[in-house]
């Protein structure tokens, strides 16, 4: 683990090839399920927004998801009729003037709340919104509203200074990420910060710098919308890949 906060993690993924790294990235983005609003029933809407536009905005609000208790509607024991195990009901009621935020959505389950602080629309004086929404589990491959976040990776950089180096400091001056440093008359390298731009190679007259990416080591980043933690996103993607691999092995 290199960096970690409430919404993102950065870690080193080692001893795998690019196909595994890309499989993890694609699975996190498109296969890890989350809750999102799928149906909206309007009781009142005297705002300046059409029902369809407002429904789309509500659908894009991330909702805290618990994958331990929620099922896909089609796989639930209620056979798609809707129950607490496959659907979540939220309500919204507000009179203007003022801005309607995601905080104004009231969930029937206090643990599964929309992410706070997202503006949805502005109500003028006398304008009113009353609605009931239904959120279900889905995947990003179906619609972006179910995408739990983003994932990306880059090759881990390998930077080598050869004996031809005379510490002219040209690489230090040109490097955009300050990878190089002069210490006791020698150039030292902080490989992790290198972005493989090759600027140092271009300015080095003595061809003393060699830069390449490691094909079996990656700097991997996962960032969450707030529906799941970054760790949950990564762990779930591993579970999904393992399950698919077992199915493929059985078919073969």
Q: What average pLDDT score do residues 59-66 get?
A: 96
* Domain assignments of the chain as residue spans, ordered by start: 3-28+150-160+190-201+208-221, 34-146
* Strands of the 3-4 sheet, one edge to the other: 3-4, 8-14, 209-224, 149-161
Q: How far apart are CA 133 and CA 89, in angstroms?
A: 6
Largest CA distance in the chain: 77
Contact 7, 226 (CB under 8 A): yes
Whether the pLDDT of residue 46 is over 80: the answer is yes
DSSP-assigned states of every residue in 7-57: SEEEEEEES--HHHHHHHHHHHHHTS-EEEEEEEEEEEE-SSS-HHHHHHH
Whether the pLDDT of residue 245 is over 90: the answer is yes
Residue 82: the pLDDT is 83
Q: What average pLDDT score do residues 194-200 get?
A: 93
Whether the pLDDT of residue 62 is over 80: the answer is yes
Strand partners, 132: 41, 91
Q: What average pLDDT score do residues 137-162 get?
A: 95
pLDDT band at 184 (very low <50, low <70, confident <90, very high): confident
**pLDDT, averaged across the chain:** 94
pTM of the prediction?
0.86
Residue 78: the pLDDT is 84
Tally Cβ neighbours within 10 Å of residue 79: 11
Q: Across 69-83, 155-169, 235-249, which has the greatest mean pLDDT?
A: 235-249
Contact 82, 132 (CB under 8 A): no
Residue 24: the pLDDT is 97
How would you classify the pairing of strands 8-14 and 209-224? antiparallel
Q: What average pLDDT score do residues 197-208 get?
A: 91
Residue 41: the pLDDT is 97
pLDDT band at 123 (very low <50, low <70, confident <90, very high): very high
CATH number of 34-146: 2.170.120.12
Residue 84: the pLDDT is 84
Q: What average pLDDT score do residues 117-136 get?
A: 95
Residue 230 carries which DSSP code?
Answer: H
Residue 216, H or E segment: strand 209-224
Q: How far apart are CA 9 and CA 1, in angstroms?
A: 8
């Amino acid at each position: 683990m290199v960096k970690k906060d409430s919404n993102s993690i950065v870690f080193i993924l080692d001893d795998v090839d690019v196909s595994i790294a890309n499989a993890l990235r694609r699975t996190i983005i498109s296969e890890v399920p989350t809750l999102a609003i799928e149906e909206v029933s309007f009781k009142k809407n005297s705002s300046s927004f059409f029902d369809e536009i407002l429904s789309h905005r509500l659908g894009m609000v991330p909702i805290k998801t618990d994958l331990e208790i929620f099922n896909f509607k089609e796989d639930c024991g209620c056979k798609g009729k809707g129950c607490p195990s496959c659907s979540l009901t939220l309500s919204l009621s507000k009179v203007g003037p003022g801005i309607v935020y995601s905080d104004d959505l009231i969930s029937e389950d206090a643990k599964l709340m929309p992410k706070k602080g997202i503006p949805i629309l502005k109500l003028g004086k006398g304008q009113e919104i009353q609605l009931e929404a239904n959120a279900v589990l889905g995947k990003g491959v179906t619609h972006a509203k179910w995408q739990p976040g983003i994932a990306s990776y880059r090759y881990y950089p390998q930077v080598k200074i050869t004996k031809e180096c005379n510490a002219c400091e040209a690489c230090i001056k040109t490097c955009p990420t300050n990878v190089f440093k002069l210490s006791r008359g020698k150039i030292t390298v902080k490989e992790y910060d290198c972005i493989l731009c090759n600027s140092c190679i271009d300015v080095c007259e003595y061809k003393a710098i060699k830069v390449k990416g490691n094909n079996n080591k990656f700097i991997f980043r996962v960032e969450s919308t707030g529906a799941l933690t970054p760790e949950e996103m990564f762990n779930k993607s591993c579970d999904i890949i393992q399950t698919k691999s077992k199915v493929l092995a059985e078919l073969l």
